[in-house]
Amino acid sequence: MSQQDQKFKNLVAHCKEYGFIYQSSEVYDGLAAVYDYGPNGVLLKNNIKSYWWKSMVQMQENIVGIDSAIFMHPKTWKASGHVDAFNDPLIDNKDSKKRYRADQLVEGYCEKIQKKIDKEVTKAQKRFGDDFDKDQYLSTNPRVVKYQEDIDGIMKRMADAMTADNMVALKELIEELGIADPENGSKNWTDVRQFNLMFNTQLGNISGEEGKLYLRPETAQGIFVNFLNVQKTTRQKLPFGIAQIGKAFRNEIVARQFIFRMREFEQMEMQFFIKPGTQKDWYDYWKKTRLEWHKGLHDAEKLRYHDHDNLAHYADAAVDIEFQFPFGFRELEGIHSRTDFDLSAHQEVSGRKIQYFDPKSNESYVPYVVETSIGLDRMFLATMATALQTEMVPGQDDPNNTREVLKLHPALAPIKCAILPLKKNDERIVALAKSVFNKLRGSIQCMYDDTGSIGKLYRRQDAIGTPYCLTIDFDSLEDNCVTVRDRDSLVQERVSIDELKAKILPSVDMGNLLEGK
């Protein structure tokens, strides 16, 4: 197993062991690609939501929030194009009976070529040492240039086939490249066909097609159909945005990689309504703004842009912000210039005028839209991947003395402060520890824990990312102070119980993260 695979395995195991994420319906052997958040998971997830919401709504003058229903009138999805075009290309292997996404098989093939390029680069780096110029090498080494041309050619053919909805061409590409089933090596493929990703269900009081409802595959449509309601009730002037966080559902053909690709997940989306003609500027603005936001939590080299080759039916420009997950760079957030596609489509299908009267130019028009859309669960996974570290215990020279610590920003940490009585059977210590707990818990997310030795308790708090551990000991009974241990430095200091709130609250405040501290 590669080091990266091992790291990912550890991360998944850590999420379960410390109550972050469980497989859904585990007692029935689980339901594929559906997960439940445990006690620490839900706290972290709520903090991530709050960070996004505060950045996108509270800190913005012209963005407001809504919370629209998951069920929407079925015509919504006809108008939005999802009934006809929200498809992935499906292919079955006749021997293994396994189902794949045809585009992912082709991407997997290209990833293998990319690995050959990476290998050549590593070799050359060793050979040339400090003199190595990677960009020059990539553009001049004949073997590497050829590999890159192969990738570009294949990806272009795939994008053309997908854009033209030409599934025959996609199948031909798979056959020409000799792509085999990763499970058993068979090349005995069915034709490629489009598979709609929307789940559907039925209204109780209407039978047949009329009563067919969809579980929303994106939260965006709830924003579009409420555009006029929100604009009129908040008297917003263009440009302005509407944000929302909510569940979305997609019947993914292949759902792997833990919470990266789920069938039920949460999105945090913002639709920014603008004057037609200004979309390029706003697209660039949000592209840059969102990348900067991610840099607040992750190193810049773990983030990159990836322009879409194959634009969705509603977009005139689209870029992904990719994060380096333990299994490689993958999409974390999408920024899409959605033109006036959605509002115009709802205007046409509903027969209602969905337009904005511009008081400056004295004209009415359908606004254009730039969307930012991020998966909350992917953000959770990225946050955990960055935070989980195995490090030498600070202050000790022994390289074998390591600890697992979740270095979350204190504002995101599920528990801010753990109250640990040094003796659980000393009544006076327990009473004091409980009184500290009761004093803090109204304003700080605290945990009281007396279920092990102090060493074990510290280790458990490190593993869930608790920034402060407070120990109550015999001295506390005399001096009314507790020992405060800092998660990262392990420095311990005595702090008066009366001053605890004033010490802890400012450092776990979300404002720090919002202000880049």
Segment lying near ligand ATP (by CB under 6 A), choices 65-73, 272-280, 327-335, 461-469: 327-335
Residue among 332 and 510 whose Cβ is closer to ligand ATP: 332
Of 107, 252, 309, 426, the residue at the interface with ligand ATP (CB under 6 A) is 252
Q: What DSSP character marks residue 71?
A: B
Segment lying near ligand ATP (by CB under 6 A), choices 258-266, 343-351, 359-367, 462-470: 258-266
CA distance 79 to 74: 9
Closest by alpha carbon to 261, among 190, 179, 182, 325?
Answer: 325
Closest by alpha carbon to 90, among 191, 174, 182, 183?
Answer: 191
Residue among 319 and 420 whose Cβ is closer to ligand ATP: 319
Closest by alpha carbon to 384, among 402, 417, 416, 406?
Answer: 406
Of 239, 375, 410, 467, the residue at the interface with ligand ATP (CB under 6 A) is 375
Neighbours of 454 (CB within 10 A): 17
Max CA separation in the chain (angstroms): 81
CA distance 59 to 514: 8
Of 92, 103, 331, 340, the residue at the interface with ligand ATP (CB under 6 A) is 331
Amino acid code (one letter) for 415:
I
Output the smallest distance, CB 192 to ligand ATP, in A. 17
DSSP per-residue string spanning 21-40: EEETTGGGT--TT-EEE-HH
Of 250, 294, 302, 485, the residue at the interface with ligand ATP (CB under 6 A) is 250
Output the smallest distance, CB 331 to ligand ATP, in A. 5
Segment lying near ligand ATP (by CB under 6 A), choices 95-103, 326-334, 347-355, 469-477: 326-334
Of 82, 171, 378, 416, the residue at the interface with ligand ATP (CB under 6 A) is 378
Neighbours of 492 (CB within 10 A): 12
Residue among 218 and 473 whose Cβ is closer to ligand ATP: 218
Residue among 92 and 218 whose Cβ is closer to ligand ATP: 218
Residue among 231 and 372 whose Cβ is closer to ligand ATP: 372
Closest by alpha carbon to 421, among 471, 374, 371, 456?
Answer: 471
Contacts of 173 (CB under 8 A, 6+ apart): 106, 154, 157, 158, 161
Output the smallest distance, CB 230 to ligand ATP, in A. 21
Segment lying near ligand ATP (by CB under 6 A), choices 353-361, 367-375, 402-410, 490-498: 367-375
Output the smallest distance, CB 419 to ligand ATP, in A. 36
Asked if 470 interacts with ligand ATP (CB under 6 A), we say no
Neighbours of 345 (CB within 10 A): 20
Residue among 373 and 471 whose Cβ is closer to ligand ATP: 373
CA distance 327 to 335: 22
Of 377, 449, 462, 473, the residue at the interface with ligand ATP (CB under 6 A) is 377
Asked if 261 interacts with ligand ATP (CB under 6 A), we say yes
Residues across the chain = 517
Total binding residues for ligand ATP by CB under 6 A?
15
| Structure-block tokens of residue 76 | 């919504």
Segment lying near ligand ATP (by CB under 6 A), choices 161-169, 372-380, 435-443, 451-459: 372-380
Q: Which residue is nearest to ligand ATP (CB)?
A: 375
- 3-state secondary structure at position 110: helix
Output the smallest distance, CB 250 to ligand ATP, in A. 5
Q: Where are the alpha helices (DSSP H) in 18-101?
A: 39-53, 75-79, 82-85
Residue the block writes with tokens 């069920």: 71
Q: Checking DSSP bridges between strand 240-249 and strand 63-65, what pairing results, if any? A: parallel
CA distance 48 to 511: 13
Asked if 333 interacts with ligand ATP (CB under 6 A), we say yes
Asked if 267 interacts with ligand ATP (CB under 6 A), we say yes
Query: Residues of 30-56 as b/e, b for ≥16 C-beta within 10 angstroms?
Result: eeebebebbebbebbbebbbbbbbbbb
Of 373, 386, 466, 471, the residue at the interface with ligand ATP (CB under 6 A) is 373
Asked if 265 interacts with ligand ATP (CB under 6 A), we say yes
Asked if 332 interacts with ligand ATP (CB under 6 A), we say yes
Residue among 200 and 350 whose Cβ is closer to ligand ATP: 200
Asked if 374 interacts with ligand ATP (CB under 6 A), we say yes
What is the contact surface with ligand ATP in residues (CB under 6 A)?
250, 252, 261-262, 265, 267, 331-334, 373-375, 377-378
